[in-house]
Structure 1
Amino acid sequence: MTESTNQTQPPTTTKPLTIGVFDSGFGGLTVLRALLPLIPNAHYIYLGDTARLPYGSKSRETIARYAVSSAKFLHEQGADLLVIACNTATALALEDIQQALPIPVIGVVQPGAHAALAASTQPTPDAPHHVLVLATAATVQSHAYTHALNALGLEACEKACPLLVPLVEEGWTNHPVTDDVLKIYLTEALASAPATQTLLLGCTHYPLIEPAIHRTLASINHPLTIIDSAAATARATAALVTEHFPNPATIDHPTTTFYATDSIEKFQRLGSNFLGQPVTEVNLVDLGG
């Protein structure tokens, strides 16, 4: 599975570029946060499918159905390009989404893998570069990052960290409990992969605890280069925009419309933390079962 864009190339338009960003919940807002300064002359539509999360506990067929319906909704709202800011949907449904839409689609796995390659020493068959991937259980079970990294000549060790997402959503991004949990996860992972040189954040919640990860690595005396897949995805999206939309109309500043399928108040509260600015208006949308 690759994350190459669809073959259909949209025509250059004089209207402002509209970028759709999709996640099963809130984590994709870290991708949007990284996109806003990189592509300021755009309108953004963000959809959090909060009524049907967590995706990770569902079958591949169900995840694909949910993700395709969400992607189609964003296309119907005018998205010219779609960013799948969800690791589970990228890992298990990217090809389904690409086949369902006539616009460019990009996920989060390949940009993260390529960023890890760019940060690595030149890998060789005799001396491959080792990358530790922290992710949710569903993403680890898909082995999407292992496949992507191996294809680039990198060795991967994936570590499922199921406690980190609820800790982030609880707001405990700078809390001793989070530090303790990170120390356990990282110590276990590095014991099985001591040659690791790079740490890839394979969940879009994890950029919020990057300072805690740095502290933990320092405490166990194992510094690593940290790759934020959300930031890598934003850079890859900016390159995609340059390729497909060379002359979009300009606007004074980026604008954003937010949609959620449930829990508007929670989306506003948590979303503001993830986005780094107030999320004041969220539209409720029903995408069915």
Structure 2
Amino acid sequence: MTQDMLTAARLKERPLPVPQEGSKDERGSALVLGGSASVPGAALLAGVAALRAGAGKLKIATVGSAAMGMALAVPEAMVIGLPETAEGGVDGAGAAECLRKAAKGCDALLVGPGLMENGPTTALAVELLEALPSAAFILDAAAVCGLAAHADQIRRHKGRVVITPHAGEMAQLLDRSRDAVEADPLDAARTAANLLQAVVVMKGARTWIVDPEGARWLYEGGGVGLATSGSGDALAGIVVGLLARGVAPLNAALWGVFLHGEAGKRLAASVGPIGFLARELSAAVPGLLREADA
């Protein structure tokens, strides 16, 4: 099967829902679980991106030491402070019950940006996936690396899960070397999609989007400026915002990659090919969505 090139013209065949007049509940509720004492901003970047992608409501669950600052930095969000380990990460065992309550009624969850420990983070993501049977999930960063050990559980939720690994995270997921993943990222993405029955966004200079039914899309845009700290957090946030709006996982992944990449192109043109910041990407998304609606 040949790949489809991810372009604006092709995405016109997969239009996003058109927002109607009504309450914020109709645009969906997103929850971002992320951040640590050393990387609190990852959850902020993702949360703001979710709102810029059109989610109606946002919750951010992060370590207790960062919660007050997060609430002030993102006044649009409800912020939940979670139990914290001595190392400054989320205490998964202590946070699980709090998260189940906080996530009740949410349409989409993002787990991973800025979280510290791979194993406990993956286990917490799987526990939430089991506890929230009607929500869509995107698993990123630390939530991805240990998924192979939970493959049977993830497969049971086919049609609800997107993962967004870079080469290092994919290498841990598949127990391959990073060099092997970088040599054939499409094979890695297809293997992970089959293993987990999830939509896979294999991030890189050329990004592959693969689903377990065999669809494969390639996005070659964006530019070198997107290779910057926090860029992946913004991408994950855009995707969870689209999922919250009711966009199906494959379409949310395709649109998320495209919007993120095109935002990078615009910043490269206005700021320079490198040196723009991940925090600036989200602001370009509403304009790109307006153009898509037109």
Q: Which interval holds the TM-score relative to the shorter structure? A: 0.3 to 0.5
TM-score (norm: length of structure 1): 0.38
TM-score (norm: length of structure 2): 0.37
Q: Which has the higher helix share?
A: 2
